Amino acid sequence: MKLEINDKEAIVEILAARYFADQGWKWISLRRDVDRIYKSFEELEDQYNAYPYMSKDWYVENSASKNIHLCAKWDELKTFVDFLRAYSEDFDFLVSNNDRKMFCIATSDGQITDTQKRAITEARNLRCNVFVFKANVPDEMDFELLQVGGGY
């Protein structure tokens, strides 16, 4: 069966996620979870506005959503959200290893677009590492369809 580009991208994302988990890294898929990061940011801002006697840093440090945005301070979260609003579509994952944020581009062909190159430059300006997870996925995969007869 010939694989389409979407199939190949999904396989590469699965492999990357497995690699991150095997390394013990915290990670989130920016393809699926970026809206959760934005929602978390808005909720923290609303909490602070409703109860301003606690610092914004306190809300970030004690938030239940800390594992989503991987930030510890308000300024860090604000900068991060602003960055994601501009460049989230250029990366596939946010990865944290020992509290160091890294962005990852997952690809089956190793190609980096011009917009991704600009996003990489901006991520590096934020002192975030960027890496490319390249997996060789075949253009076609074999399979078998087996029929099971009878009952249990």
Phi, psi of 29 (to 5 degrees): -85, 120
Q: Which one, of 44, 19, 30, 13, lies nearest residue 101 by Cα?
A: 30
Tokens of 112: 């980096």
Beta-bridged to residue 107, according to DSSP, are: 134
Q: Quick one: pLDDT at residue 152?
A: 61
Question: What pLDDT is recorded for position 151?
Answer: 65
Distance between CA atoms of residues 87 and 38, nearest Å: 13
Whether residue 30 contacts residue 88, with contact meaning beta carbons closer than 8 Å, is answered with yes
pLDDT value of position 29: 92
Q: What is the pTM of this model?
A: 0.82
Following CA atoms 51, 56, 62, 64 in sequence, which dihedral angle do they give, to the nearest 10 degrees?
80
Mean pLDDT for back-to-back runs of 10 residues, the chain (152 residues):
89 93 91 90 90 87 81 89 94 86 89 93 91 90 82 63
User: If you ran DSSP here, which 8-state letter would residue 63 be given?
Assistant: -
Picking from 141, 106, 149, the residue whose alpha carbon sits closest to that of residue 4 is 141
- The pLDDT value given to residue 145: 86
